[in-house]
Structure 1
Amino acid sequence: MTGDAQQPPGRRLSSWTTRRWLRVGVGASLVVLTLLGVTGAWVMGRSQSISNNLTDVRSPSLSTAFRLETALVNQETGIRGYGLTGIPGFLAPYRQGVADQKAHTRSLEELLDGDTARLHDLASVQEAVDRWQETVAEPVAAAPAGTPSSQEAERLANGKAAFDRIRVALENQQERLRADRIQARADLESTITQRNWVFGTIALLIAVLAALVFEGLRRGINRPLELLGSDARIIAAGDFDHPITPTGPADLRQLSGEIESMRRRLLRELAFTEEARLRLDAQAADLQRSNAELEQFAYVASHDLQEPLRKVSSFTQLLQRRYGGQLDERADQYIDFAVDGANRMQILISDLLNFSRVGRVHNAQQSIDLDTVLEETLSALSVAVEETGATITHDPLPSLVADPSQMVMLWQNLLGNAIKFRRPDEIPRIHITAAPEAGLWRFTVTDNGIGIPPEYAEKIFVIFQRLHTKDTYSGSGIGLAMCKKIVEFHGGTISVDPEYRNGTRMTFTLAPEPPQIPGPSATPDAARTEAEQAR
């Protein structure tokens, strides 16, 4: 099965992936936001431009026009007073009014720069002022002080009409400037209203856009992921037959398809594993039954062979004692062979019987002091220790829960091997250590003997495996196999340290409280027979 999600019948699914949807959505959002930003910026710029025009041009222009009118009225008042009285003091307002007129005219020209219509109004005012000043004001001002003449009075009378034209020009100018300011205010208010609408629309569109994005993410990503997670949790809870439903964009559907493919493969693997487990359970049961039968056979065989072998050994020894030296040399040699073979067979059968007993009958686990067990073992090996002059030292040994007789067999085999496999020219030196390690006790038995080649480090624990001939070193080949069985029965492991070169170092572990592994029960007859032999 491929990783592609199955398409529901009657429905054509989009081929767009999550990345493509996100790209398109982000792109469209950016375009909309850009347009909204440009529109908002334009409205803000227009509002600012109208506001600046109102505050910097229209209102100052109208105020300056009023001040220009005041300056001209001051000129007309001063000229009229001087013309009627001839007092020079009346010329001061006129002169100040001329200066103010020029300053206000320049201000208006700067404020109205570029406004042709309003500059034309200012030119009309200036033209009327120039005509009045030229025909009335300047000639009157140039007349000598003193009693006014009839000529100045006539000019003043004629100048009223000229100044009225100035007033008309000023009124027209001020009316248009006032109208411009009113229009600017109206435009500003309209722009502010437009700006409020634009920003309100922007806020609404952003809210709508955010809602669309949220809903799109919920439907396109969150919801499919929630469904996928829900299906995965159902499968993780143990319902492996629950199918994965592909939803969402193409890549999420592909992911769902891949998980579905994994689920189906897992289902096949589980079915195969279950079938294999059933076969293994059956094989384990057969193997356990076979091992139990083999152990029972080894016990029964070794036990039942002891009686006829005892007869053979007894009669061959009797034959050796009674007829030794009475027959020829070859007959004596044959009798020696028979006695030696019977003795070795007895030792082999006894060791095999002890091997079969480990974990079966003698399983009286109790709290024991290994120092005491070691003393019993050394007492049993006292003859070999005395003959070889062996030196055996040890660290303080712990107390633990174990079978006392099996512990004695364990130490007796390990120490017996260390004494037996010694160098011809050296006195055996043996040291025992004990230290806690990862919840277990690790023991070492180190000697200065002949050592064990690394290639035989595993073979020596196989039953009947020997590295030397029986003529070189005696033994049945069961000792280390029995040690391995005892150690494993007490929850540990045993091995040879391959890095030690000056002899042999056996390393093994024991659990403080070994697991209870029930072995096959001995038959009543066999147990009774063992008890009799033990006596």
Structure 2
Amino acid sequence: MSSRPSATEGPFAGWTVRRRLQAGVAAALVVLAVLGSLGGWAMWRTSQLTGELVDRRSPALIASLQVEEALVNQETGVRGYGLSGEADFLQPYEQGVADERAALRRLRPLVQGDTRARADLAAVETLAGRWQERIARPVSTASAGDAVKLAGLRATEGKSTFDALRHAMARQQAHLQTERTAATRDLRRSVTLRNWVFALIALVIVLLAALVFEGLRRTVTGPLDRLGLAAREVAEGRFDRAITGTGPADLRRLASDVESMRLRLVRELESSETSRTLLDEQAADLKRSNAELEQFAYVASHDLQEPLRKVSSFTQLLQRRYGGQLDERADQYIAFAVDGANRMQVLINDLLAFSRVGRVHNDQRSVDLEETLGAVLDSLSVAVEESGAEITHDPLPGVVGDSTQLGMLWQNLLSNAIKFRSPDRAPRIHISCAADGEDWKFAVADNGIGIAPEFQEKVFVLFQRLHTKDAYPGTGIGLAMCKKVVEFHGGTIGIDPGHTPGTRVVFTLPVSPAAPAAAAERETEQ
């Protein structure tokens, strides 16, 4: 299946999911940056107009009104003093002078950037200075009698001068009020614009989120859902379901890989079907072979042993009756016949025992190896006593297996350790046991004649003998039977090459659930 984009998939068909996400994120960041800049400008504009209104226009108008109020207080005090000559009227005048100075200090920096406001302030200060110079200060500094005369003489001039001052202050306040009204109007417009800008930003963000979700649905989640559905159908057994990919290039490549895997599974299934058919045929052949083996075992245990027992019985009878009556060569031939018949009978019995491992003896249950070993030591008591062997062992656990087979395992290992003892020393045999992960690791170590390194693998082969039957009797089946028993129980067996003197046979058996508790209880008892 090709992952090359088709003509209907558009100019972006060759883009991967990562590239599409990068492009989408970059575009979204650009849009958000523009929107953020627009929103920032709207906030800055609103803040600027608010500062203009709050920090300049309104304080300037208030300061102008305070200047007017201070001058009116001065005019009232001077006029009262000029009419009555009472000094109490000078207190409002003096307070008005202080208030005027304070109000002018606040007003001057507020009109620095406004030419008309500066001109209005200059006119007010000029007229106020003329009125104070011609009327207020001369009257306020004169004595009571002189003040009344001077006020009467300059009453007309004072009235006209202060009226001009009132007109100048009214003109200044009108201009300041106009500017304050314009600033308020600009602020309202800026707030409205800011609200619209933020509404637009919210709308664009919502649209951007909708576009992102729709883009992900079309280019990522949708193709993935279709690919997942097709893969699940294949997993449920519809191996004829072809998997086609859509969307970004990497998803199409993934679909192509899954399709390749499906085709390989189809081929493997066809091959496995052929193998299963062949396996069924082999199973039928094996079943037939097992039936023949069962028949052979029956024949070997009954039909073959009967004539063999006759041969053995009559050759032994011939040996007892005619022994010493014939020549020495005849006695030797009769002895050969008796020995051959006996060895043939032992060999057949050993072969039958070997064939029964895993076939006849297969009673899987919990086995206490302490009891099994005790029974084997009882059966070997004569050989142990004759050889002077000393047999020791660690606490042995319980395992799951066939007690008969495990008894044969101990029987063969211990009898071999006794049989192949060194003529120079009494046999010393020790059985060790230790936990090794999920297995029990056993070892049967002796101080006998040992096994040469080149033969340590061969001794587990059926009928493999390292000594003549005259030196050490046996059929060469014992260790092969041990290997079969251990492997039937899921373990391994081998010779420890580093053990000297003598031989150390190491084998493992799986840990049963009850084994650790049994071993711990036995260690406590000891």
Report the TM-score, using the length of structure 2 for normalisation. Answer: 0.79
Aligned-pair CA distance for 1:112: 0.8
2:468 aligned counterpart, secondary structure: coil
**Range with greater deviation from structure 2 (179-188 or 436-445):** 436-445
Residue in 2 that maps onto 1:528: none
Residue in 2 that maps onto 1:349: 348
Residue in 1 that maps onto 2:30: 31
| Contact 1:414 1:480 (C-alpha < 8 Å) held by counterparts | yes
Residue in 2 that maps onto 1:162: 161
Are residues 147 and 139 of structure 1, via their aligned partners in 2, closer, same or farther at CA, if it must alter by over 3 Å? closer
User: 2 CA distance for matches of 1:123 and 1:191?
Assistant: 33
Residue in 2 that maps onto 1:5: 3
**Range with greater deviation from structure 2 (26-35 or 400-409):** 400-409
User: 2 CA distance for matches of 1:428 and 1:150?
Assistant: 157
Aligned-pair CA distance for 1:354: 4.0
User: 2 CA distance for matches of 1:289 and 1:62?
Assistant: 120
Residue in 2 that maps onto 1:465: 464
1:146 aligned counterpart, secondary structure: helix
Residue segments in structure 2 that go unaligned for 5+ positions in a row = 513-526
User: 2 CA distance for matches of 1:56 and 1:365?
Assistant: 100
Are residues 353 and 55 of structure 1, via their aligned partners in 2, closer, same or farther at CA, if it must alter by over 3 Å? closer
User: 2 CA distance for matches of 1:397 and 1:75?
Assistant: 123
* 1:16 correspondence with 2:15: yes
**Range with greater deviation from structure 2 (115-124 or 238-247):** 238-247
* 1:198 correspondence with 2:216: no
Are residues 416 and 172 of structure 1, via their aligned partners in 2, closer, same or farther at CA, if it must alter by over 3 Å? closer
Length, aligned pairs only = 511
User: 1 CA distance for matches of 2:156 and 2:88?
Assistant: 21
Aligned-pair CA distance for 1:321: 5.0
User: 2 CA distance for matches of 1:278 and 1:503?
Assistant: 51
Residue in 2 that maps onto 1:270: 269
Are residues 351 and 58 of structure 1, via their aligned partners in 2, closer, same or farther at CA, if it must alter by over 3 Å? closer
User: 2 CA distance for matches of 1:417 and 1:453?
Assistant: 15
User: 1 CA distance for matches of 2:467 and 2:137?
Assistant: 153
1:70 maps to amino acid: E
User: 1 CA distance for matches of 2:453 and 2:125?
Assistant: 126
Are residues 264 and 162 of structure 1, via their aligned partners in 2, closer, same or farther at CA, if it must alter by over 3 Å? same
Residue segments in structure 1 that go unaligned for 5+ positions in a row = 514-535
Are residues 149 and 394 of structure 1, via their aligned partners in 2, closer, same or farther at CA, if it must alter by over 3 Å? closer
1:254 maps to amino acid: R
| Contact 2:58 2:180 (C-alpha < 8 Å) held by counterparts | yes
Paired residues for 1:63-462 under 5 Å: 63-81=62-80, 93-94=92-93, 96-137=95-136, 145-146=144-145, 153-294=152-293, 296-297=295-296, 300=299, 304-314=303-313, 316-317=315-316, 320-321=319-320, 324=323, 329-358=328-357, 381=380, 384-392=383-391, 410-431=409-430, 445-462=444-461
CA deviations over 1:78-97 (Å, ceiling 9, x no partner) = 45455556666656655554
Are residues 30 and 325 of structure 1, via their aligned partners in 2, closer, same or farther at CA, if it must alter by over 3 Å? same
Aligned-pair CA distance for 1:16: 2.1
Aligned-pair CA distance for 1:476: 1.6
2:3 maps to amino acid: A
CA deviations over 1:340-391 (Å, ceiling 9, x no partner) = 4344334333433444455556778999987777677566555544543334
Aligned-pair CA distance for 1:30: 2.2
User: 1 CA distance for matches of 2:142 and 2:102?
Assistant: 26
User: 1 CA distance for matches of 2:109 and 2:367?
Assistant: 118
1:5 aligned counterpart, secondary structure: coil
CA deviations over 1:262-285 (Å, ceiling 9, x no partner) = 333333333333433433343344
Aligned-pair CA distance for 1:160: 2.8
| Contact 1:299 1:356 (C-alpha < 8 Å) held by counterparts | no
Residue in 2 that maps onto 1:52: 51
| Contact 1:125 1:170 (C-alpha < 8 Å) held by counterparts | yes
1:5 maps to amino acid: S
Are residues 454 and 302 of structure 1, via their aligned partners in 2, closer, same or farther at CA, if it must alter by over 3 Å? farther
Residue in 2 that maps onto 1:526: none
> How large is the Cα RMSD of the aligned pairs?
4.2
Aligned-pair CA distance for 1:455: 4.2
CA deviations over 1:183-228 (Å, ceiling 9, x no partner) = 2222222222222222222222222223332333333333333333
User: 1 CA distance for matches of 2:95 and 2:388?
Assistant: 144
User: 2 CA distance for matches of 1:509 and 1:301?
Assistant: 33
User: 1 CA distance for matches of 2:111 and 2:122?
Assistant: 12
1:222 aligned counterpart, secondary structure: helix
Report the TM-score, using the length of structure 1 for normalisation. Answer: 0.78
User: 2 CA distance for matches of 1:151 and 1:405?
Assistant: 150
User: 1 CA distance for matches of 2:170 and 2:400?
Assistant: 125
Q: Percent identity?
A: 61
Residue in 1 that maps onto 2:515: none
2:46 aligned counterpart, secondary structure: helix
| Contact 2:71 2:97 (C-alpha < 8 Å) held by counterparts | yes
Aligned-pair CA distance for 1:467: 1.3
User: 2 CA distance for matches of 1:313 and 1:151?
Assistant: 177
Aligned-pair CA distance for 1:120: 0.7
